[in-house]
Chain A
Amino acid sequence: MKTIDARGLACPTPVLQTKAMIDKEDPEMIQITVDNEAARQNVVRFLEFRKFQTTVTTEGNDIKIVGKRGPGTAGQQEADMAGTDRNSSQILVMISSDRMGHGDDDLGQKLMKSFISTLKEMGNELWRIVCVNSGVKLAIEGAESLPHLKELEEKGVSILVCGTCLTHFNLLEKKQVGETTNMLDIITSLQVADHVINL
């Protein structure tokens, strides 16, 4: 456990020391000792702001604040996102249209269907598919690619479908595969992936 002795220090120094420690070490547990009420309340508030669970004990003039990382905090989420199996690299495929390439739209749709049905050949390294803009149309009922996406999902590929885009096309009710997602999840996914393929 990381410890900080912030006794005798005026606000905002105890909070700043706590912040610096969390930013640098990303600890699971942290203990800060302060000696005044203002510092206690500010440090507790900061830890809770950073999603730590806090307990406070008093010994004489010393106030000991222990922060424990709660479930669903930033560091934890990142670990979950990254998955448990990190032996191989993770590939993310970003699909931002319901057709592949520009030129002929009919051809583009055929190519996209073919691409999705062949995507399984990528093997275990295929980690996640993100559908945005008209790409979400691949994941709705009646779409030719739907069975192939479902197959991929069953094999453990994670599929994220942009909620804003579904709403835009009025297709929110018709989505048949994957999780409806937001931009923050998409950005975190892009950050965590080892390789990103843009379509």
Chain B
Amino acid sequence: MIVGLDRADDAGVYKITDDIALIQTVDFFTPIVDDPYWFGQIAAANALSDVYAMGGVPKTAMNLVAFPIKTMPVSVLREIIRGGIDKLKEAGVVLIGGHSIEDNELKYGLSITGLIHPDRILTKHNMKPGDKLILTKPLGTGIINTAIKGGLAPDDVIEKVTRQMAMLNKNAAEIMSAFPVHACTDITGFGFLGHLAEMIWGSNMGAVIQREDIPVIPEAIEFASMGFVPGGAYKNREFRESMVQFSEEIDPVTRDILFDPQTSGGLLIALPPSHADELLSRLRQNSMDTAAIVGYINTGKKGMIHVK
């Protein structure tokens, strides 16, 4: 075993030969959008993301389904699975099985298995002083999803955010593989600062984040100001507050967005400053037009993130 439960990481890695290691992950959740086909796609993109974040190539998948078969038409389930399979096809992954149970609450997700070279594993814990941090997708999906639940998000916003969540991190991972990346993770339930906190903790580093460089879905600011912040954002903040120092002018809404739990969020990549601009322009050329350099790593205050 190369990567296991001892340190928090995106997926487990098990070495088979000197050239091949197995990378495995599982993720499932309750619906976040009403459209079952899109929910299936988002669930698949989210599950695949952990493999991409570690630099692996996903190969096979298994479905996990909990479905209220007595109260919900089976066509809903079919659409969810179809969404999942379409996303797997896009990723070049084969569905080889799965398991379903009856449950009052619908849940769907996948277990993904991939391959990775044992020497080329990207963990969260190898950041170096001076590394620049690149974020590939804008923040705010948790807040928008809360507004969707409340029936307040307009259709065009729902569609925009749905597409963003269903977007694979495959492209970002492939582009990143040509660069000397030190560490990477995908932004999900712990929010941007929660995941960054894990990275600097593991690397024994500090980080400086420039607020104005963080890509944010504009409508998330509006909904957060109206009080549509998910409970998870508060929990994330409570848990990691001691590791974050906010400059005074950072308003409460921005703080919530930085802790907002993301569904199928982007990759957070740490790499030497000499390569950061080139990686950023490659990402932007490949339809990740909101990708941005959001900060850098230092050794000033170890274990602290300073948001300016």
Contact = CB atoms under 8 A, between A and B. Distances in A.
B225 interface: yes
Interface residues of B, number: 17
A36 interface: yes
B139 interface: no
Nearest to B253: A45
A42 B150 contact: no
Contacts of A81: none
| Interface residue tally on A, bucketed by range | 10 to 19
A11 B230 CA distance: 6
A15 B234 contact: no
B234 A12 contact: no
Contacts of A36: 231
A38 B229 contact: yes
- A42, A46, A49 interface centre (most CB from chain B within 10 Å): A42
A46 B235 CA distance: 19
A37 B234 CA distance: 8
B231 A43 contact: no
Interface string B207-243: 0000000000000000011111111011100100000
B238 to A, nearest CB: 8
A46 B238 CA distance: 21
B226 A11 contact: no
18 contacts: A10-B231, A11-B146, A11-B230, A12-B146, A12-B149, A12-B150, A12-B228, A15-B226, A16-B150, A36-B231, A38-B229, A41-B229, A41-B234, A42-B227, A42-B229, A45-B224, A46-B227, A49-B225
Given A11-B229, A11-B230, A37-B234, 12 more contacts: A15-B150, A15-B226, A15-B227, A15-B228, A36-B231, A38-B230, A38-B231, A45-B224, A45-B225, A45-B226, A49-B226, A49-B227
| Top 9 closest pairs, chain A to chain B, by CB | A46-B227, A42-B227, A45-B227, A38-B234, A38-B231, A12-B150, A15-B227, A11-B231, A12-B146
